[in-house]
Every structure is written in structure tokens, then in C-alpha cells.
Amino acid sequence: MAQFEELQAIWQSQAPPGAPPADSGTLARALARSSRKQTWIYGGKLVAVITMLSIVAVKARGSAWSLGGVALVAAAALVMLALDWRHQRAIANLNFTEPSAGFVRSAIRQLREQREPFHGFLWPFMICLVVGVNLMYLDRLRAMALGWRVGWHVVGSALPFGGYRLGVWARHKRWESHARPLVARLEAMLGALEDDSR
């Protein structure tokens, strides 16, 4: 975090045209606060994923199919969390030494991208999750009648999609309350900078 504060101090020492240094500092502190909140959220997500997968792994009782499903879901979930967290950390580590207008544009773009972080990677992750969830319960479903097995596979396949939609809904709500005010302030700052450069 010391590196972030050092970059913030460098950026604040440059007086951008059209944006008072006090406003720039306030905005940089707001971005830092937002980053700290996100770090706590990602920590909670990681604990939840590890806890749920540990419970399922214990209940698998050594079944190779179930353990394979747990491993596949764990890999997909951890990669998704890592990519999302890395994207969020990029916002906190913006290059404060570049021209202020460039910083503001970059910050706006990256904050907006937080609404849909897996846009290009969604289908590979969803396929891994669907296959993993179905493998986790394969041994238990073999003893059921065909109709029940098909029904459980449909439910198991729908769970990752339902979870993703719920996650996107929660992320949009959080984005609206936390990131939208920052974007509005950044857009106002960018407008002032562009007016001054004309």
C-alpha cells in the first residue's frame, strides 16, 4: 500500500489544469478506499469458495469422479477470483505519473469494466463449472432412476448460471453505490481538463 500512497503523493504534487489539487487528492483517496473495500470482499469470496468446496470434498468420501468435479470447480472458481481481483488491483495501481487526462480516462474505463469482469472468459468458466458440478454428484445419481438423474443433471447444470446471474446482479448493485459516484467525479474532472486544453 506504501507504493500506492507514494504514487498518490507524486500525482497530487502535479497541479493539473482545471482540477484543484484538493479535489484530485480527495478523488485518489476515494479510489484507495474503494480498493480496500474490494480487497475485503475478495477475501470473503475466497473463504466462501474454499469452505464450500472443502465440505463437498469431505462428503465425496474418496470418489474419484466427485473429487475430480471438486478440483475442476475449484480451479475455475479460483482462476475467476484471481482474474477479477487482478483487474480490481489494476485500478488501485493506476499510473499516477502520467498526464492527468490520461489517468482520468483510464480510471473511468477500468471502473466501468468492473461491471462485467468476465466478458471474454465467461463460457470457458461456465463449462468448467457445469461439468464440475455434474461430476461431483455423478456417483450419487447412478443409483437413481433415469428421469431423476436427468432432472438432477439439469438442476446441476443450471446452478452455475443461476449463481452467475445472482453475482452479476449483486455486483451491479454494489457498482451503482460505490463506483458510479467515483465515475461521475472523474467525468466532471475530465470535462474540466478537456475544456482547459481547448
The whole-number pLDDT of residue 9 equals 55
pLDDT digits (tens, 9 = 90+) for 58-78: 877 778 888 888 899 889 888
The whole-number pLDDT of residue 175 equals 83
Answer whether residue 18 shows pLDDT above 70.
no
Answer whether residue 19 shows pLDDT above 70.
no
Q: What pTM was estimated for this model as a whole? A: 0.66
Answer whether residue 132 shows pLDDT above 80.
yes
Answer whether residue 4 shows pLDDT above 50.
no
Answer whether residue 146 shows pLDDT above 50.
yes
Q: What is the rounded average pLDDT of the residues 5-23?
A: 49
Answer whether residue 196 shows pLDDT above 70.
no
How confident is residue 122, by pLDDT bands cut at 50, 70 and 90? confident
The whole-number pLDDT of residue 85 equals 82
The whole-number pLDDT of residue 3 equals 47
The whole-number pLDDT of residue 113 equals 81
Answer whether residue 1 shows pLDDT above 50.
no
pLDDT digits (tens, 9 = 90+) for 81-105: 888 888 777 776 665 555 567 777 8
Q: What is the rounded average pLDDT of the residues 32-46?
A: 80
Answer whether residue 2 shows pLDDT above 60.
no
Q: How far apart are CA 84 and CA 87, in angstroms?
A: 5
The whole-number pLDDT of residue 17 equals 46
